[in-house]
Amino acid sequence: MRTTTGWQATGSSELSAGLLERRELRPDDIAVRVDYCGLCHSDLQALRDHDGHSRLVPGHEFTGVVTEVGLEVAAFSVGDSVAVGNIVDSCGQCRMCRAGQENFCHEFPTLTYGGKDRVDGSTTLGGFSREYVVREDFAYRLPEGLDPAAAAPLMCAGITVWEPLRALDVGPGVRVAVVGLGGLGHLAVKLAVALGATATVISRSSDKADDAGRLGADGFIVSTDSAQMTAARESFDVVIDTVSAPHDIAPYLKLVGLDGTLSVLGYLGALTVEVADLLIGRKKLSSAGSGGRPSTAEMLQFCADSGVVPDVEVLPSSQVDTALERLAANDVRYRFVLDMSDLD
Ligand SMILES: [Zn+2]
Ligand SMILES: [Zn+2]
């Protein structure tokens, strides 16, 4: 085994810096020096849910540099800039994997942390550490022109909004509405606009109206203002719902136009839907999460070509507790990224 340092929760949900082990490289593995790791809502949730019986190292959107390659690695060399997201392996055989949708693998993809390694059965430890060992197939070349710190959140938040935007053919002439302006929502706005669509932000208050305009949105609707919501009835082709708490989707379905789609990305539990709300207007209800290998590579290249990166606040990794507290309080615009160099 090889050792590195990382932020880990062991007996409780408190993170502390300490040594952790990484596997020796298999023939198709690369070792990555983790430089920047984004902070995702699911990291917060994983720490809250942590039972203390095992070791938890969060972090599943990171960028860094290849420091070593396995004997059969073909795609990467030492010194390459790479990005890794929330999936580090899949079966490679099932219909979804063969379709390039490893995120939907029938055997469930191996998650970057808290997952079960497909070879040795060990529990994966995440990117809040200075080194990660990963199969080359699940690392992505970081295109030139992308800032490695700002690019880190593309690997979870970015790809999660990119796949549905692409699957729903968002482009010129398409009217997109984004519900909730947080980590996911602000990237949905930027990507939709970069794809040529128009974007409207739907938020509970007008606090973020200026930000919405700065991000490229040309419309803003306050969801608690029933007059505004009524006026916007059936005026969008695609509504991307990033609200992470349980909520009523009926008001957002009303905003969807004829044959349009509501894609629910933020809350993945049970929701109630009146089928009549779909019937009227032949509306579609969908969801998405993470991404397959082809679309992840495509997303990174598109972001490099179009200059889209998330708005990030970079903190030294020693301030991870502050970042978690502020994320819990929604006090971030719009994503924290931890600089891991202080772990050396
Ligand atoms: Zn995430
Ligand atoms: Zn599979």
Say if residue 217 is in the same domain as residue 165.
yes
Say if residue 187 is in the same domain as residue 127.
no
Percent of the chain at pLDDT > 70 equals 100
Give me the number of domains the chain comprises.
2
Say if residue 255 is in the same domain as residue 335.
no
Q: How many whole angstroms from 89 Cα to the centroid of ligand 2? A: 9
Q: How many whole angstroms from 104 Cα to the centroid of ligand 2? A: 7
Whole-prediction pTM: 0.96
So what's the pLDDT on residue 51?
A: 83
SS3 percent helix, strand, coil of the chain, rounded to 5, is: 30, 30, 40
Instruction: Give the CATH number for residue 198.
Output: 3.40.50.720
Tens-digit pLDDT profile for residues 261-305: 999 999 999 999 999 999 999 999 999 999 999 999 999 999 999
Instruction: Give the CATH number for residue 302.
Output: 3.90.180.10
Domain boundary among 247, 269, 287: 287
Domain boundary among 287, 309, 329: 287
With a cut of 80, say whether residue 239 has pLDDT above it. yes
Tens-digit pLDDT profile for residues 174-209: 999 999 999 999 999 999 999 999 999 999 999 999
Closest ligand to the CA of 98: 2
Say if residue 121 is in the same domain as residue 41.
yes
Residue 242, domain extent: 158-287
Say if residue 251 is in the same domain as residue 315.
no
Say if residue 129 is in the same domain as residue 204.
no
Say if residue 316 is in the same domain as residue 273.
no
Q: How many whole angstroms from 109 Cα to the centroid of ligand 2? A: 7
**Range of weakest confidence among 10-19, 30-39, 91-100:** 10-19
Say if residue 20 is in the same domain as residue 85.
yes
Give the helix/strand (H/E) hosting 305: helix 293-306
Domain boundary among 265, 287, 309: 287
Say if residue 177 is in the same domain as residue 150.
no
Q: How many whole angstroms from 91 Cα to the centroid of ligand 2? A: 4
Q: What mean pLDDT do residues 107-114 have?
A: 98
Q: How many whole angstroms from 40 Cα to the centroid of ligand 1? A: 5
Local confidence band at 52 (pLDDT 50, 70, 90 cut-offs):
confident
Percent of the chain at pLDDT > 90 equals 96
In this structure, what token pair is assigned to residue 269?
A: 């539990």
With a cut of 90, say whether residue 54 has pLDDT above it. no
Collect all residues with Cβ–Cβ distance below 8 Å to 150 and sequence separation of at least 6.
309, 310, 312, 337
| CB distance 257 to 175 below 8 Å | yes
Q: How many whole angstroms from 214 Cα to the centroid of ligand 2? A: 40
Closest ligand to the CA of 327: 1
What three-state secondary structure class fits 261? strand
Say if residue 121 is in the same domain as residue 210.
no
Say if residue 30 is in the same domain as residue 17.
yes
Say if residue 6 is in the same domain as residue 151.
yes
Query: E strands along the chain, which residues?
Result: 2-8, 16-22, 29-38, 62-69, 81-84, 87-89, 110-111, 131-135, 140-141, 175-179, 198-203, 219-222, 236-241, 256-264, 284-287, 312-316, 335-339
